A and B are shown apart, each in its own frame.
Chain A
Amino acid sequence: MSTAQIKRTDWSGFLFILPYLVIFITMIVIPLFWGINLSFQKADLFGPGEFVGFENYARLFNNKIFLQTVGNTFYFVLLTVPVLVVIGLGLALALNKEAPLQNVLRGIFFSSTILSVTVVTLIWRIIFIPNDGLMANIFTQFGWEPIAFLSDPDWSLISVAIATIWWCLGLPMMLFVAALQQIPKDLYEAASIDGANKMQSFLFITLPSLYKTIVLVTIIQIVMQFQLFGQALLMTQGGPNNTSRSIVMFIYDAGFRRWDIGSAAAASQILFLLILIAAMAQFIVTRKKGEQI
């Protein structure tokens, strides 16, 4: 074997990643930088025009509707994430055992997760119908004043949140179940020998062992719920009076209905930044778990 042959750079491995690399560059890298570029342009349906600096961003921060969508999105995250984490943890603690009944029940609580947003919203719109929906029937049964869930400004986003919680609670539950099953059993045995009761072993063994999973699940849910779109679009169209309009809905409206591409691109960069902060936190938490990437 000659030295030239040994020293020759081996590019053949490159061929294996080439197909993915082409898709990655055309679908993610170029659109990402092109999108950042668009956010500094005066752009409309006919493509980018002139460079306008931060004008699109400045316009957004003076746009009452955009600021409202930011507020709504944070409110929605607050409405959903704590409930999802608590319910998910509660269900996981109750159904953590590997037994037939527990398996079936876990399967039921997880089942809504696999449905599409279209099906979920259709089901919940049918339930929230003012006069004849399931909710209205229940309210009448108890003699309460029925609420127009989807058209009441105080209730629209809460209704979307209720449907979302029903849709999403399976994932936190399963992540907590996986974490619970990794807690060594002898910890509990040792504690009970030392005379700890159930409450004490929950407080001093279960909760500390779950700490990282709780943080992780919270971050995953924040990132997910921050991207609220389909539920709000299909259940309330963002109404009434924009009370249930989210940031992503604003991007959709600006970018694909009003063709105000500059605003839409700027809004999507702001969303990206907010999600990036959460993603960074997730990266730090998962890396601390001792995984190597």
Chain B
Amino acid sequence: MKYTQLVISDPSQLIFGNTPYPVKTRRGLDIGGGQVYSELNFTLPVMSINDQTLPQVYDHYRQITEGALERALHLNSKGVILEFETLLEMTKTPAIGVEIVKIMNDICENYYQKHGLASEIRLTPNDLREFERPALQRTSRLLEPMFQLFEEGMLAGGDLLSIESTGGKEVSDEALMMCDIKAVLFSLAVLGVRDMQFLWKKIVALAGQHGKIAAGDSACGFANTAMVLAGKKYIPKVFAAMVRVISVVRSIVAMEQGAVGPDKDCAYEGPFLKAITGIPISMEGKTAACAHLSPVGNISSACTDLWSNESVQNIKLLSGMAPTAYMEQLEYDVRLMNTAIKKGTTHSHILQQLFVESDVYTDPQALVLDPANVIRISSALIRGDSYVANARNGALEFIEILEETLATGQMTLPEMESSYIPMLREELQGIPDSESDFIEMMLPQIDSSKFILSEYGL
């Protein structure tokens, strides 16, 4: 357990554009050093990826990058991150992913040399291991193309390394649907943590070898799945908010292994990571509605250092191609935040207050992102001696905050939601501090055919 005290313990210091440990990039971006930058993410329109369509695939990425950077240039952007999140075929055959990084990087370099527009590529290979069930987290042959893409992709110009790793997802999917908080905690604080330790040790070493930036890992397949399920009214929002809190103990392992940020855009656990470790983060909210809906459109920007759209298909809109349009939306959002930063802390805090107050009492998932609550929960998340205890403590702190808020009348929840609170508290209180005791408790309760303990070092 690397972190035992908060790097940012004063909520007023947890603010957009500034963090104690900014990250400087090759072309001069200073992420978290007094400015918010856009982070644009994009994907292909509906199409297959095969030998015949590869030229079109490459053309799409060329067109997206040129369109986005041209628009950023026109809007006097101070810098841009382009996230290249690979699709299955691009990781299985790393040469495809590497070629796309090259195409994008050539364009980035051209805009930098000709116009002084600094941009960097975040390279995010997809986690192939989930294609095997039960997953071979440590011995899978699929690790080879993933790491080949990491290495060759970073050499081709992918400077920031990220992944949405899936260790523990074998247990999490069913646990989410059953609202089984103990199984969620097992998937994230035991399996997820152990897989992150394995994976990020390698990623950090590789980045260090080539002078690149080990950025961060999102619990997207866990906590964002919960958020989307809650949005569809499949599971309670109270439960989804709690999953978010628990996901922190899993995602922070990247930093414990040496990742320095900026953390991944879809990791809404980012504010907690920023408070605990001081790294810069990327977040997404209202401008990510092109990819998924969320209840945290404004509040998610309260303390971000990069502002993202999550993902948009390269399709034609009335104004132009969708990634170009989203580049513009992101740039206007960050321009507003940067104007506030320039005018001083009073203005930054007023803008942050508006971001926070416009969302905070509308949903428990927004409530946890209030900077004051982030600090309270983060303190609980580092109080214990194990990841299991930390996850449990953080979740119980969230319940305290939720009940205090409900008592003030500022937030109301239907009985269908609030009836889960006592049940969740009781479940959490039954979780022991020690990881081994918890594993012993859980193994008879979960379907052990779904995962292989030895693949998690157990």
A binds B: no
